[in-house]
Amino acid sequence: MSLVIDILSNISLLVGSLFCLAGAVGMLRMPDFYTRVHAASLIETAGAGFILLGLLLQAGFTLVAAKLLMIGLLILFASPTASHALARAALLRGLKPLLAEKGEQPSKP
Amino acid sequence: MLSAAVLAVLATIALALCRASLGPTVFDRLQAASTIGTAAMLLLALFGFLNGRPEFLDLALVYGLLNVVGVIAVLKFFRNGSLGGSVGDPD
């Protein structure tokens, strides 16, 4: 039983680390501010969620698990709100999204 | 696996720092700052588990609250031109 929980926790930590790295590389390489917001919110939802899930499986039913849940709820409520407010402030400030060029074929839906 | 996760979060912070230093607009820098704050919370939690001292989670909670309040305050400043002012009307 303990071995199963250890394996699940390690897998969850690994997946969370991969999501964090993917989001960070996307933040560095995406061409536009709005696409960078998308990449950064990957870190704040999937990466943080999986890493906290892995720690939660290691903690068991203790006070530490309650604190981890509080941190997870805080991240899940606050970070998308901050991202949304940021994109909205940028749009109201007149920052245009990067769209397709005039001569380019639009992508088929 | 805990140390691997710590390394991944450190690499995330480094890449976000690159974006914060060369981001063209101020919103890029703010997004990078918010991401660094979230990654620092994760780093505190992971580091506490790595050392066997989960009391670091309290520090992570306080850091997250400060991060959220700071980002919202700075955004309000950039949108309204001041920290007072009305919230509702755009422009």
CA A68 from centroid of its chain's CA atoms: 17
What's the confidence (pLDDT) of residue A1? 65
Q: Is residue A16 part of a domain?
A: yes
Domain-located, residue A65 = yes
pTM: 0.82
Residue A52 lies in a domain: yes
pLDDT at site B90: 46
Is this prediction's ipTM beyond 0.85? no
Distance from CA of B26 to the nearest CA of A (A): 9
pLDDT digits (tens, 9 = 90+) for B30-74: 889 889 988 999 999 999 888 888 788 888 889 888 887 877 777
- For residue A109, tell me if it sits in a domain: no
Domain boundaries, chain B: 2-80
- Per-residue pLDDT at B91: 45
3-state secondary structure chain B: CHHHHHHHHHHHHHHHHHHHHHCCCHHHHHHHHHHHHHHHHHHHHHHHHHCCCCCHHHHHHHHHHHHHHHHHHHHHHHHHCCCCCCCCCCC
Token code pair at residue A30: 């995406």
Domain that holds residue A28: 2-85
Residue A23 inside a domain? The answer is yes
Asked whether residue A10 is assigned to any structural domain, the reply reads yes
Choose among A109, A103, A90: nearest CA to A34.
Answer: A90
Spell out which chain B residues touch chain A, with contact meaning CB-CB distance below 8 angstroms: 1-2, 4-5, 7-9, 11-12, 15-16, 18-19, 25, 27-28, 30-32, 34-35, 38-39, 41-42, 45-46, 49, 54, 57-58, 60-61, 64-65, 67-68, 71-72, 75, 78-79, 90-91
What gap in Å lies between CA A50 and CA A63, rounded to an integer? 20
Residue A41 lies in a domain: yes
What is the number of structural domains in chain A? 1
**What band does A109 get if pLDDT is binned at 50, 70 and 90?**
low
Across A53-65, average pLDDT: 88
Nearest to A86 among B18, B31, B68 (CB): B31
Backbone angles phi, psi at B36, to 5 degrees: -65, -35
Please indicate, yes or no, if residue A11 is contained in any of the structural domains. Answer: yes
